[in-house]
Amino acid sequence: MKYPSLTINKSKLSHNIKIIQDLCTSNGVSFCAVTKVFCANSEVTQIFYDAGIRDFADTRIENLKKINYPSTTKWLLRAPMLCETEDVVKHSDISLNSELSTISALSQKAQKTKKTHKVILMIDMGDLREGIVPKDALNTCGEILKMPNIELYGIGANYNCFGGVIPTQESLNEVVEIAETIEKNFGINLKVISPGNSGSIHFLTSKTMPKRVNNLRIGEVILLGRETSYQQHIEGMFEDVFCFDAQIIELKTKPSMPTGEIGLNAFGEKPTYVDKGDMIRAIIACGRQDVSIDKIIPLDKNIELIGQSSDHTIVDVTNSTTKYKVGDILSFKVSYGSILSLSTSEYVKKVLV
Ligand X SMILES: *Cc1c(COP(=O)(O)O)cnc(C)c1O
Residues marked active site are found at 36
Q: Which of 217, 226, 281, 295 binds ligand X (CB under 6 A)?
A: 217
192 binds ligand X (CB under 6 A): no
- Residue 238 DSSP symbol: -
124 binds ligand X (CB under 6 A): no
Confirm if 105 and 94 have CB atoms less than 8 A apart.
no
Tell me the number of residues near ligand X by CB under 6 A.
Answer: 13
Confirm if 245 and 212 have CB atoms less than 8 A apart.
no
Confirm if 160 and 167 have CB atoms less than 8 A apart.
yes
Give me the residue whose beta carbon is nearest to ligand X. Answer: 219
Q: CA 336, CA 164: separation in Å to the nearest integer?
A: 15
Number of separate helices (H) and strands (E) present in the chain: 10, 16
What's the closest the beta carbon of residue 166 comes to ligand X, in angstroms? 12
C-beta closer to ligand X: residue 45 or 158: 158
198 binds ligand X (CB under 6 A): yes
218 binds ligand X (CB under 6 A): yes
Confirm if 153 and 182 have CB atoms less than 8 A apart.
no
x/- letters, 50..89, toward ligand X (CB under 6 A)? ---------x-----------------x------------
x/- letters, 27..46, toward ligand X (CB under 6 A)? -------x-x----------
C-beta closer to ligand X: residue 210 or 219: 219
The H-or-E segment that residue 336 falls in is: helix 336-344
Q: Which of 21, 158, 214, 335 binds ligand X (CB under 6 A)?
A: 158
Name the one range near ligand X by CB under 6 A: 4-12, 147-155, 212-220, 316-324.
212-220
What's the closest the beta carbon of residue 328 comes to ligand X, in angstroms? 33
3-state SS track over 59-90: CCHHHHHCCCCCCCEEEECCCCCHHHHHHHHH
What's the closest the beta carbon of residue 64 comes to ligand X, in angstroms? 13
DSSP 98-134: --HHHHHHHHHHHHHTT--EEEEEEB--SS-SS-B-G
Q: Which residues bind ligand X (CB under 6 A)?
A: 34, 36, 59, 77, 96, 158, 197-198, 217-220, 228
